[in-house]
Amino acid sequence: MSSSTVGALYDALLAFEERRRGGDAYPIHKRIAIAETKHEDIYEWLADQLALRTTDRVLDVGCGVGFGTIRLAERGVAHVTGLTVSKAELERASRATARSRRADAITIVERSFDRPPSGAFDVIIAVESLKHSDDPSGTLRGLYEALAPGGRLVVVEDVFDGDPTSPSAQRLVADWLLTSLHQESDYMAVLAPNRVVDLTGGIRPSGRLALAMKLAALNVALPWVGSTRGAALRALRGGLHLERLYAAGMMRYVAMFFSKPATQ
């Protein structure tokens, strides 16, 4: 799937969320509670796990509207570049970063995840973004190559561990414009992680009845809405099917840590 097509999906989702919620609320990443460390935000957990340094140049792949990017910058790193494929997210992220006390240390750019900005990064973080790659192996290699010697790459992703013919699996692929549901082995076949953390226990999917009611309401509404709103509602429907997959034990949420040798 091209980055422009995925970008259009997130443009539609952002427009829908702005009408529904107003303000800057846009919870693009799932809620999580990490019991061992008491974290409720994946970016805060990552910053602590990586022990970010004041000299670090960070790339946030799939930065959304910049909330995580700003959190990373406010940890005191040298600079953070946020990467998005959505024009609407770029505009929102630029406004949000302009209000940050570390605005001078943040750059937001719109471009494909397969074309990271030039320059070597000490830390690259990709949270729930590589699922949109047609070729996760190639994307992962490209991000690894963008690391400086001694650099670290972390991929946090939903990884599939079930039957691809499952109705929820097929619905998620269609609604989120994915080419397939990637497995953990798809990433590990390219690079050997030095650490993998399973965060699935922190995911709390909605109950079966609540999911069924929400899905029924969306399915009734979809035939009656325009293309932009329809794209957003389909994305929300895909998210509900993702919850179903978690509830059925067919999806896991993992953080894969990779590191580049200091010397080649």
Q: What is residue 119's three-state secondary structure?
A: coil
Contact criterion met (CB below 8 Å) for 57 and 90: no
pLDDT tier for residue 136 given thresholds of 50, 70 and 90: confident
Distance CA 44, CA 52 (A): 11
In the chain, alpha helices (H):
3-21, 42-50, 67-73, 87-98, 136-145, 167-175, 184-188, 208-221, 227-247
pLDDT for the residue numbered 15 = 80
The pLDDT, as a whole number, for residue 7 is 86
**What does the pLDDT read at residue 11?**
84
What is the DSSP secondary structure assignment for residue 225, as one 8-state letter?
A: S
pLDDT at 23: 55
Rounded CA gap, 39 and 72, in Å? 15
Q: What residue ranges do the domains of the chain occupy?
A: 3-161+179-205+251-259
pLDDT of residue 13: 82
Q: Is 107 left (phi over 0), alpha (psi -120 to 50) or beta?
A: beta
Q: In the numeric block, which tokens belong to residue 89?
A: 């997210």
> Residue 95 is encoded by which pair of tokens?
């406004």
With beta carbons less than 8 A apart as the criterion, state whether 66 and 88 touch: no
β-pair type (106-110, 79-84): parallel
4-13, 24-33, 40-49, 115-124: range with lowest mean pLDDT: 24-33
| Burial class of residue 152 (count of CB atoms within 10 Å of its CB; 0-12, 13-18, 19+) | buried
B/e letters for 26-60, b = 16+ CB within 10 Å, e = fewer, are bebbbebebeeeebebbbbbbbebbebeeebbbbb
Tokens representing residue 244 in the block: 């179903």
Whole-number percent of the chain with pLDDT over 90:
69
Among 13-17, 47-51, 85-89, 111-115, which is the least confidently predicted range? Answer: 13-17
The fold of the 3-161+179-205+251-259 domain, in CATH, is: Rossmann fold (3.40.50)
The Cα 123–Cα 239 span in angstroms is 29
Q: What is the mean pLDDT of the chain?
A: 90
pLDDT bucket at 48, cuts 50 / 70 / 90: very high
Q: Which of 59, 177, 170 is nearest to 125 (CA)?
A: 59
DSSP one-letter code for 3: H
DSSP letter, residue 168: H
| C-alpha dihedral (96, 97, 101, 105), degrees to nearest 10 | 170
- 208-225 residue pLDDT tens: 999 999 999 999 999 998
Beta strand 147-160 with 121-127: parallel, antiparallel or unpaired? parallel
Residue 46 in contact with residue 125, Cβ under 8 Å? Answer: yes
- pLDDT (tens digit per residue) in 3-33: 678 888 888 888 877 776 655 555 556 778 8
